[in-house]
Amino acid sequence: MESNAEFITADDGVRLYVETIGTGEDAVIIPNRVFMAEAFARLAEHRTVIFSDPRNRGRSETITDHTRLARGVHHDVDDFDAIRRHFGLHRVNLIGHSYMGVVVILFALKYPDLTNRVVQIGPMGPEYAKRYPPTLANEDATYTEVLTSLGELQKRRASYAAEAFCKEFWTVLRPLYVVDRKDADRLGWEPCDLPNEMAFMKQFTQHVLPSMAQLQMTADDLAKIRAPVLGIHGRSDRSSPYGAGRDWALRLPNARLLTVDDAAHVPWIEEPEIVFSAIETFLGGQWPDGVEKVDSLAQAGEPA
């Protein structure tokens, strides 16, 4: 299927790289194009899929004026709206993975009349500092091993050229995202040819994470979100704990959770048919089979 790539100018003049696939009237915005486009292009069979590189990410403009990054995830929210307006869309669907799973909710909160449906995949939780009990997290041996190895790698950083360090970083990190480490290389994540991606950790720690730590979304705030929200979360997620997915589904007024039992942070790698079938059904206007209306943070059979 043919794609069209272009730069879209955000409200403050930053140029965002956007790739569009499909021609359907229904449109969905999916950020983090570098990591999402290859797998999620299949959604374009029935709709227009707009993959975006967030500001200072992927092939978007490199930003040297850090005031244009200082608002962290709030820049991303407004950039989504700039993309929506560029394409002349009244309402949009959004799919966000990991920290972008929080950003798509912020868009639905700020622009409730412009949001059709929202999918969160392995989102970080609604409270940045909240810790979940062991039954709702997965801090297993792989989790400990990966974090230890990343710490050791950081100590040796000076001995690597920049691209070589990037490649080694992703080699160490990928097993964190899957249940079985033999599936890690199926991710194909190694954006070491993109200077923005190699430099992203500084932006992430200095701007993205602090902006998320400052979020305070009350029950009254979340009640303003009218869009249906489908959460998809791997039960063995080590990066964004499974409890975070349950927490969002518990708090949001019109949400359901699809638990993917044999998956971690990137469930579309390990259970693609479950994940993409659910997304297709949901974007088509229905709740997919197997979703849960969460009424307790605890899982079935556990004390609340």
Give the model confidence (pLDDT) of 138-162 as tens digits: 999 999 999 999 999 999 999 999 9
Rounded average pLDDT over 283-291: 97
Please give the residue range of the domain that contains residue 203: 3-137+196-283
Q: Is the residue at 142 inside a domain? A: no
Count Cα atoms within 13 angstroms, Cβ side, for 230.
27
62-104 per-position pLDDT tens digit: 999 999 999 999 999 999 999 999 999 999 999 999 999 999 9
- In a domain? residue 187: no
- Residue 1's pLDDT is what? 75
Residue 115 resides in a domain: yes
Among candidate residues 175, 183, 98, the one with its CA nearest the CA of residue 142: 175
* Whether pLDDT at 205 is above 60: yes
Q: What is the mean pLDDT of residues 227-248?
A: 97
Return contacts of 63-66, CB within 8 angstroms, 24+ apart. Answer: 63/14, 66/206, 66/207
Res 33 pLDDT > 70: yes
The verdict on residue 190 lying in a domain is no
Tell me whether residue 174 is in a domain. no
Tell me the percentage of the chain whose pLDDT exceeds 70.
Answer: 98
**pLDDT score, position 302:** 59
Is residue 172 assigned to a domain? no
Taking the C-alpha atoms of residue 258 and residue 287, their distance in angstroms, rounded to an integer, is 10
Q: Work out how many domains the chain is built from and give that number.
A: 1
Model pLDDT, residue 2: 80
Strands, E assignment, the chain: 3-9, 15-21, 27-31, 48-52, 92-97, 115-121, 229-234, 255-260
pTM of the entire structure? 0.95
Asked if 22 contacts 44 with a C-beta cutoff of 8 angstroms, the reply is yes
**164 domain-assigned:** no
Reported as a single tens digit per residue, the pLDDT across 36-60 is 999 999 999 989 999 999 999 999 9
Model confidence band, residue 25 (pLDDT cutoffs 50, 70, 90): confident
Q: What is the mean pLDDT of the chain?
A: 95
The CATH number of the domain where 200 resides is what? 3.40.50.1820
Residue 300, pLDDT above cutoff 70:
no
Quick one: pLDDT at residue 298? Answer: 84
- Integer CA distances (angstroms), 179 to 92, 187, 286, in order: 32, 12, 29
Residue 213: pLDDT over 90 = yes
Does 33 map to a domain? yes
Question: Which is more confident, 172 or 24?
Answer: 172
pLDDT class of 26 with cuts at 50, 70, 90: very high
Q: How far is Cα 79 from Cα 15, in angstroms, rounded to an integer?
A: 10
